[in-house]
Amino acid sequence: MLSATRSLADNGLLTGKVIDNKTGEVVDFAAVALFKQSDGSVVKSYQTENGGKFQFSNLPFDTYKIKISFVGYTSAIIENIVLSKQHPTKNLGTIKLKPDANVLNEVVVTDTKPVVQFGTDTITYNVSQSLMAEGSTASDVMRNVPMVDVDIDGKPTIAGKRNTRIFMDGKPSDYTAATLTDLLNVLPADAIEKIEVITNPDVQYAADGDGIINITLKKGYKIGLNGSVALTGGTLGTYNGSAYIAYRTDSLSISSSYGYINRPTTSDGVVNTTYYKNDAISSYRNQYSTNDNGNKGHNLRGNMDWDITPNQNVRVAANVNFRNTGGDSYLDDHSLDIKSVETKLIQQNNSNVNDGSSYNLDADYSLKLKNNKGTLKAGMVGFYNNNDRDRNLAREILTHSNGLLVKTRQYYNNVAANTGLDLNLNYYRPVTKLSSLSMGFQSSFHKNDNDQFVTGYNFDTLQDTVNSNLTNRFIYYENIYAVYASYSLRTKKRWSFRAGGRTELTDASFEQDKPATASMKPYINFFPNISLGKSFRKRYNVGISYSMRIARPRDYALNPLVDSSNTANIFYGNPALKPSYTHQVELSFGAFGQKWSFTPRLSYANSGHIIERIRMDTVSTYENVGSSNTYALNMFGNYRPTKKITFTGSFGVSRTTYESTFNLSKNTVGYSYRASVGPSIQFPKRIAFEGNVNYYNRASVQGRSKGSVSASFGARKGFLDNKLFVRVMSVDPFAQRRNIQFVEGINYTQERNSKLATRNYQLTVSYRFTKVGRNTVNKQKKDSSKAPETPISE
């Protein structure tokens, strides 16, 4: 009878969440001890897990106190927690641990979250802490992220990595290459919380790609209603606007963002080609081009995060993107003989219009199992992207030897549609207080449909006729099934260890109108992943990691549709490409002081069947060119002489050896360099200044991209208690952005010089607002009075 009575009483529930008071980051693996208030006896103990959350269930009604502790933090104690029949459930909300001033681990402790944080295999750029983000786009912000290179078209890659994937909120975005660039050019930076550069992704991530850039979008971060609006105008004729709004309660967070951009672009290009025969110069070909384009886009995103119960959570996010680009380009193509006398002149005018849209739905459900049995999480991502591009080409060809003038006119219509569905199921469970196990299953089903229709105008019949050689359709299917497991361990002596494996089955096929459809055999791969780390003397850490990765050929590399709009650069994809495999090892070290930090990283990567775009005279395509070995050293540091001034800098150098048959020499060695430096200064009267200068010089299998410099500087002043901000910004004030490439082929050398008009001076006005209900304020005050040692908010 006593047992039955006791079981009826054991129904109290106590929950909470632990975060870092300074940075707002969740604190996993923190020890939570529950005591009786009356005699101080220990009732239960717990360890925070994914998301810094803890839970005590089946508690007898009584008065309790808890103590929360973790290495590097001051312990927090909350007393007089009453569980009764009238109030059987108590949510302590968000409990903030204060960092111990005498203990430093991964980052320098500052009054606010630093812009850049360094982990063993992850670099985090906190976009919300950078004034450069206001009125900017994701593509603009990427240029300031350590270890990220952004090319002249706005495509980001991790320095030293051949194949980089872009994730959104931890999920693969899997947009087409062109669509992804368009999305990053319109996604407002104000909607981004942080950008993570992951050089050794855990096995829960797909094995495709040498590294991952993960963009985490903002959610409701304060109780109540909060948001921001921003308008930006620039001297280049650019203007954009963005709005962000979020509403949050104890258990529900709803947020939405909208961005619009209008960005005209002007660029010039020169391509000088020298041809050889029997090791002697035989002829020349020089091209001069000018491009004027307009880019407009809209991006709308909505997010809901709902704690249905203390043990259940649902998250749903939707993203819609519309874009329109178009403009005109002009090309002069001069063919010269060995004496530099012109033999042929081609003049071409192009006009193009491009309309596209993207739709993405992302949903997750998580369930925390009873009795500390772990967490189960299921999710899905569905997406659809489409692109419709029209091009009109008018060409005149003059041959000087006979004075013959030929006129041609072509029309290209390219329609691309990309659809996909990703499903995942993950189980996470603490094994002990300092160890955990994670395992799961993932599947992805993708289809990429490309349809090209080309006509030529007959000046004799005055009619358009279908060009059957260029008209074609290519459909690519890729289904991947994966299982993975990972074990993590931390010790009281500050060792950390993680080991895991991932197995993927790839089933791919394609269809095309001509030639006939070819079959591709399914293949299975196993990808190991292991890392070991150690923190010591309270301010140093060291880590080493190994992983195997795969680079599957993407749609743009496989697509065999021929683009002959430039007779000196006829391009088509290669559906016969094979996957490339990379084995990579990284050694990291970190040293941290009160005013400085220094984190060098040494890495080695061996890649086989590497996929690169190869130029062969007037034709370019993708090939499995051979193998490469890369050694890289990347160093990052910051110095903070005062609380108001911070200097950050980075430098990287890599040496790559290529073994390939697509060069004049079969074995080539290339060095790549990159560097960045920038100050951040807080002045009196709410004035802030931030700057950044980037440089890179990169080698490739057929040559190199010579030194490119980009720079941005901004100053901001706050008004109305830091609700209204005015920012002035200069982009590339010293020089327009250039890209110079040297290419070496089997029978030619080539220099490609392009210049993009990027010098721009911008003015941004933004307004932020926060509205907190009176009940919420009173509740926060009441909870804070119960725990004077630790500030508590919800």
Q: How confident is the model at residue 211 (pLDDT cuts 50, 70, 90)?
A: confident
Question: Tokens 């189960």 appear where?
Answer: 376
Pair 566, 552: CB distance under 8 Å: no
The residues, any chain, with a CB within 8 Å of residue 339's CB and separated by 6 or more, are none
Does residue 785 register a pLDDT over 60? no
- Sheet of 42-47: strand order equals 42-47, 31-36, 62-69, 76-83
Q: How confident is the model at residue 492 (pLDDT cuts 50, 70, 90)?
A: confident
Does residue 164 register a pLDDT over 50? yes
pLDDT value at position 538? 67
User: The whole model's pTM is what?
Assistant: 0.77
pLDDT value at position 602? 93
Q: How confident is the model at residue 185 (pLDDT cuts 50, 70, 90)?
A: low
Give the pair of three-digit tokens for residue 587: 């050694």
Give the lowest-confidence range in 213-227, 250-264, 464-478, 526-540: 213-227
% of the chain surpassing 70 pLDDT = 87
CA 451-457-462 angle, 5° bins: 140
What's the chain's length in residues?
Answer: 794
* pLDDT tens by residue, 104-163: 333 333 334 567 777 667 888 888 777 666 656 777 777 778 778 776 566 788 876 777
pLDDT value at position 6? 37
pLDDT value at position 182? 62
More confident residue, 52 or 365: 365
Q: How confident is the model at residue 363 (pLDDT cuts 50, 70, 90)?
A: very high
* pLDDT tens by residue, 588-633: 898 888 788 888 999 999 999 888 888 877 888 998 888 889 999 9
Question: Tokens 């984190």 appear where?
Answer: 599
Does residue 777 register a pLDDT over 50? no
Closest CA to 183 of 194, 175, 195: 175
pLDDT value at position 744? 80
Span 284-311, average pLDDT: 92
Give the lowest-confidence range in 83-92, 175-184, 478-487, 680-689: 175-184
* pLDDT tens by residue, 517-560: 566 789 999 999 999 988 887 688 899 999 999 989 887 888 89
Q: What is the separation of C-alpha 80 from the centre of its chain, rounded to a whole number of angstroms?
A: 45
Pair 303, 255: CB distance under 8 Å: yes
pLDDT value at position 160? 67
The residues, any chain, with a CB within 8 Å of residue 335's CB and separated by 6 or more, are 283, 284, 285, 342, 343, 344, 345, 346
pLDDT value at position 133? 64
Pair 427, 415: CB distance under 8 Å: no
Span 202-216, average pLDDT: 85
Other CB atoms within a 10 A radius of the CB of residue 511 amount to 13
Span 723-742, average pLDDT: 87
pLDDT value at position 662? 62
pLDDT value at position 86? 79
pLDDT value at position 131? 60
pLDDT value at position 667? 61
Pair 321, 299: CB distance under 8 Å: yes
Does residue 394 register a pLDDT over 90? yes
pLDDT value at position 517? 59
Run of H or E residues at 142: helix 138-142
SS3 at position 419 = strand
Pair 272, 568: CB distance under 8 Å: no
SS3 at position 145 = coil
Pair 69, 99: CB distance under 8 Å: no
Closest CA to 639 of 673, 680, 674: 680
Q: How much is the mean pLDDT over the chain?
A: 83
* pLDDT tens by residue, 688-697: 898 889 888 8
pLDDT value at position 80? 84
Does residue 769 register a pLDDT over 70? yes
C-alpha to C-alpha distance for 287 and 347, rounded to whole angstroms:
10
More confident residue, 221 or 14: 14
Does residue 786 register a pLDDT over 80? no
